[in-house]
Structure 1
Amino acid sequence: MPDSATQEIILGSFAGSLGKLIEYPFDTIKVKLQSKQYSNTLLCFKLTWKLEGLIGFYRGLTPPLLGASLENACLFYVYNAVQDALKKHIYVMNPSVDFQDQEQYEVPLLGKMVAGATSGVCASFILTPVELIKCNMQVLVSLLTAASQYKPNIFKVIKDVYRREGIAGYWRGQFPTLLREMGGTAIWFGSYEMVSGSFRRYRSQQVERTSSSTPVFDLLVSGASAGVGYNVCLYPVDTIKSNMQINKGDKGNATMKGTIRQIYQESGVRGFYRGLGITVVRCIPANAVIFFTYNKCKEAWFGRS
């Protein structure tokens, strides 16, 4: 683990911010599709460009950019902290094991997934209010009439949520967010570790390799695999979360159970996967950049990945 918690947080924050800048336009399309404003991705893209221009794809960017910075700082910090705790536990429970260098001990994949799930639970409390504001900003313009002179901004959305629901309103959708992050982050880190581990075993057989630095290709593919695993496995939960957060809470279906019933009645099982294609497209470059940036900065800072 890095020598300083502060340095670990900085690395995660920087990597998360870069990933969010790459994925955000795709995320805007995804949320609009999940909220059933458009019937398909191409139509959503065309009308967003026509009605809102380039800024429409980045509307509401500030909260999720800050959120991504905080989220990834929390994810990587807690992930490594839990692994350290597991190493110490294993060492205490197995005194006969000779750890010449405890830092080099490899936590089993299941342990890494537990660490990932724990980090996801912690991050969910940061993500819920951020994503609620983001989702409402992303769909707000499309729900307005062309003649409307209302100019949405983050402060108006924040004020509106507080006026209608108080402080608790910012955590509407917390439970599905927690479920998504707990399971999704376990898969996210698990997929990364599994793929990167395969690469390490393959590279170790190449006797001519002299550099200890992790190859760029390995990091990009491992990161992209993590993103695909996270999004594909937990996508229905994300759809439920987005619809709960966009719902104004005045239709009686802002609960998780009511939202599931509404989505199923309107679109069937397919409704839970609306926007999945654009989500997979967006997550590949974004997560490749997150893990590449984090690991390469870590190598430069600490001399190891």
Structure 2
Amino acid sequence: MAGVISGHPLDTLRIRLQQPSSSSSFSALKVLRSMASSEGPLALYKGMSAPLASVAFQNAVVFQVYAVLSRAFDSRNGRDPPSYKSVVLGGVGTGALQSLILCPVELIKIQLQLQKQASRGLGPMGLIRRIMEREGVKGMYRGLAVTALRDAPAHGVYFWTYEYTREHLHPGCRQCEENTTTTLTLGKMLVAGGVAGVASWVCCYPLDVLKSRLQGEPAAYTGILHCFRKSVREEGPAVLWRGLGTAVARAFVVNGAIFSAYEVALRCLSSYQGGQSPSPAAE
């Protein structure tokens, strides 16, 4: 939850930057100044309630599904860590399944983030009611296809990068998960998680721009290809990378914290279940 709170202002800037604009010199600083002057600093936290309410459940599902799938795809001895190939396949499957949870959450979040102060707009529940009344359950899953196309490969890259980076930073740590004397330090966990987050965002970012536009202005586009063609034709290919800097900065901090919390929790639970006092997983 702390990651959502600390990273949400950058997320709001990213969503605003990704929307159609006639300006050729769009920058995060200009958007920040505009929002602060016309909507107030709290505008950076618009839409935070949706991810805040779902983040714990979402992360629990993601890590549990990944653990199951990465083992299911691995044909080796179950006592060995999954191969990197199994890690990628498990990540891809996890990302595809996660999109079913994430799509409605991001739809509400994005539409709230794009509301202007003058319109006052609707709250999360009001927005959900309006969508359900007009479009039914189908309306809550607007953008599901592009969300799955973004998240499936991105999660394959995400988990592979984390496993590879932490093994590079601390050789042998994948083989010694139960030995607390060989665990990663907190700093290395943060770096490995941060690098994984950055890599996953870079590989999928153009699809994220299309997703944000499809969910933010649904009436403007008929589908993914139409959104892509219209955006590139009117604003140039560079539009597909607009806001990447804010996404990368947020990804490093938030995902470093997520993986560190996950690793520490695993080791504390392992120590507790073994009848020992929980010992720190980091130095």
What residue in structure 2 maps to residue 236 of structure 1?
206
What residue in structure 1 maps to residue 147 of structure 2?
177
TM-score (norm 2): 0.87
- Partners of 2:168 and 2:114 in 1: CA distance: 41
Q: 2:43 aligns with which of 56, 60, 77?
A: 56
Once the two structures are superposed, the pairs formed by residues 17-28 of structure 1 within 5 Å of their partners are 17-28=1-12
For 1:141-174, what per-residue CA distance to the aligned partner results, in whole angstroms no more than 9, with x for missing partners?
1xx6x4x4x3431122212322332210111110
What residue in structure 2 maps to residue 261 of structure 1?
229
- Partners of 1:267 and 1:70 in 2: CA distance: 38
Determine helix, strand or coil for the equivalent of 2:183.
coil
Instruction: Return 5+ residue gaps in structure 2 as ranges.
Output: 175-179, 272-278
- Partners of 2:138 and 2:12 in 1: CA distance: 25
Q: Which amino acid aligns with 2:83?
A: P
Displacement of 1:257: 1.5
For 1:97-118, what per-residue CA distance to the aligned partner results, in whole angstroms no more than 9, with x for missing partners?
xx5xx33x02111110101111
CA contact (8 A) 1:18 1:290 kept: no
Once the two structures are superposed, the pairs formed by residues 103-142 of structure 1 within 5 Å of their partners are 103=79, 105-141=80-116
Q: Which amino acid aligns with 2:71?
A: D
Displacement of 1:131: 0.3
- Partners of 1:50 and 1:155 in 2: CA distance: 27
Q: 1:223 aligns with which of 182, 193, 214?
A: 193
Q: Which amino acid aligns with 2:264?
A: K
Q: 2:157 aligns with which of 157, 167, 187?
A: 187
Q: Does 1:84 align with 2:68?
A: no
Instruction: Return 5+ residue gaps in structure 1 as ranges.
Output: 1-16, 92-98, 205-209
CA contact (8 A) 1:213 1:299 kept: no
Q: Does 1:246 align with 2:237?
A: no
Q: Does 1:273 align with 2:241?
A: yes
Displacement of 1:202: 7.5
- Partners of 1:28 and 1:294 in 2: CA distance: 25
CA contact (8 A) 1:239 1:273 kept: yes
What residue in structure 2 maps to residue 95 of structure 1?
none
Higher relative CO (CA 8 A, sep ≥ 6), structure 1 or 2? Answer: 1
- Partners of 1:59 and 1:86 in 2: CA distance: 40
Displacement of 1:178: 0.2
Q: CA RMSD in A?
A: 2.2
TM-score (norm 1): 0.81
How many residue pairs get aligned? The number is 266
For 1:222-243, what per-residue CA distance to the aligned partner results, in whole angstroms no more than 9, with x for missing partners?
0011011011110000000110
- Partners of 1:203 and 1:191 in 2: CA distance: 15
Q: Does 1:66 align with 2:53?
A: yes
What residue in structure 2 maps to residue 14 of structure 1?
none
CA contact (8 A) 2:167 2:173 kept: no
- Partners of 1:257 and 1:131 in 2: CA distance: 20
What residue in structure 2 maps to residue 196 of structure 1?
166
> What percentage of residue pairs aligned between the two structures are identical?
28
